[in-house]
Amino acid sequence: MTKLSVNINKIATLRNSRGGNVPNLLKVAHDIEDFGAEGITIHPRPDERHIKYQDARDLKYSVRTEFNIEGNPIKSFMDLVLETKPTQVTLVPDAVDAITSNAGWNTIEHQSFLQEVIQEFQRNNIRTSIFIDTDAKLIEAAAKTGTDRIELYTENFASEFDKGNKNAIKPYTEAAILAHKLGLGINAGHDLSLENIQFFKENIPNLAEVSIGHALIAESLYLGLENVVKMYLHRLK
Ligand SMILES: CC(=O)[C@@H](O)[C@H](O)COP(=O)(O)O
Ligand SMILES: NCC(=O)COP(=O)(O)O
């Protein structure tokens, strides 16, 4: 079974645009869980342009499913995660000024750094995941860091699928097979949508979790949040 973790960054973007508390992030997260999602994901960025560090502290007490916090393990992020103790931390090597996450880890170059931070999180009973591309050597190096899981960075798959290139799934299938052999759990995310999720799920063995935000919130403008969450759950069965 593949769990759906809904990324609520865009709800915070909308809220922040007026400076008040509409929409209420905690209520939306609560409702998303009631609609059947098995997790809530946030990606607090250092400039707090959407999720604020305080949101992570507040959500810690209200999320009833799996709580996943994503980000680059700079000191302030590490402190926040160690304070809030989510179910999972997903490490993403994003630059401060990146519009969105745009690359996976070079797990060869950063192996000992990743090993250190992963140990720190695991000592605190926080499951770890590393955002990564499909290259076999990077996945082998990820296994050496001791991480529990990897998150396959699916932007390339999504954009190729959109152009009709279904072969773009191949490196992801191979990466998932290798990761499973190496004992790694497999997550995936970035630009997954109602259009591509079923094909992705059908071709990725042992897919534990997908985190989806941008498309899911955009689709909800037309179809409604409850419907959309249920449509994803149906496609992930
Ligand atoms: C880690 C990842 O894949 C991202 O998709 C991210 O969580 C989205 O962040 P933004 O909402 O800031 O684009
Ligand atoms: N880890 C990926 C994520 O949380 C959501 O990415 P996106 O659906 O907003 O591209």
Express each pLDDT in 59-104 by its tens digit: 999 999 999 999 999 999 999 999 999 999 999 998 888 889 889 9
Quick: pLDDT tens for 140-173: 999 999 999 999 999 999 999 999 999 999 999 9
Dig out the tokens for 152 from the structure.
């396959």
With a 6 Å cutoff on the Cβ, whether 8 touches ligand 2 is no
Give the β-pairing of 207-212 and 185-189.
parallel
Active site residues: 43, 70, 190
Give the β-pairing of 185-189 and 66-71.
unpaired
Mutate which of 8, 42, 43, 214 for ligand 1? The one with the most ligand atoms within 8 Å of its CB, which is: 43
Nearest residue CA, atom 1 of ligand 1? 101
Please indicate if the annotation marks 19 as binding a ligand. no
Please indicate if the annotation marks 50 as binding a ligand. yes
Mutate which of 5, 6, 8, 9 for ligand 1? The one with the most ligand atoms within 8 Å of its CB, which is: 9
Task: Output the pLDDT for position 96.
Answer: 84
Q: Helices 25-34 and 9-16: crossing angle, nearest 10°?
A: 150
- How many domains does the chain fold into? 1
Cα radius of gyration (the chain): 17
Quick: pLDDT tens for 194-222: 999 999 999 999 999 999 999 999 999 99
With a 6 Å cutoff on the Cβ, whether 215 touches ligand 2 is yes
Report the DSSP beta bridge partners of residue 66.
Answer: 39
DSSP letters for 74-120: -HHHHHHHHHH--SEEEE----TT-SS------TTTTHHHHHHHHHH
Q: What is the spatial distance between Cα 228 and Cα 44, in angstroms, rounded to a whole number?
A: 24
Please indicate if the annotation marks 214 as binding a ligand. yes
With a 6 Å cutoff on the Cβ, whether 66 touches ligand 2 is no
Q: Helices 53-62 and 75-84: crossing angle, nearest 10°?
A: 20
228: confidence class by pLDDT, cuts 50, 70, 90: very high
CATH number of the structural domain spanning residue 66 = 3.20.20.70
Structural domain that includes position 51: 3-235
What 3-state DSSP class applies to 129? strand
Q: Which residues, judged by CB distance below 6 Å to any ligand atom, belong to the binding site of ligand 1? A: 7, 9, 43, 70, 92, 100-101, 131, 189-190, 213
190 C-alpha to ligand 1 centroid (Å): 7
Task: Output the pLDDT for position 220.
Answer: 98
CA 90 to ligand 2: nearest atom = 1
157 C-alpha to ligand 2 centroid (Å): 13
209 C-alpha to ligand 2 centroid (Å): 12
The pLDDT mean for the chain works out to: 97
Quick: pLDDT tens for 111-129: 999 999 999 999 999 999 9
With a 6 Å cutoff on the Cβ, whether 189 touches ligand 2 is yes
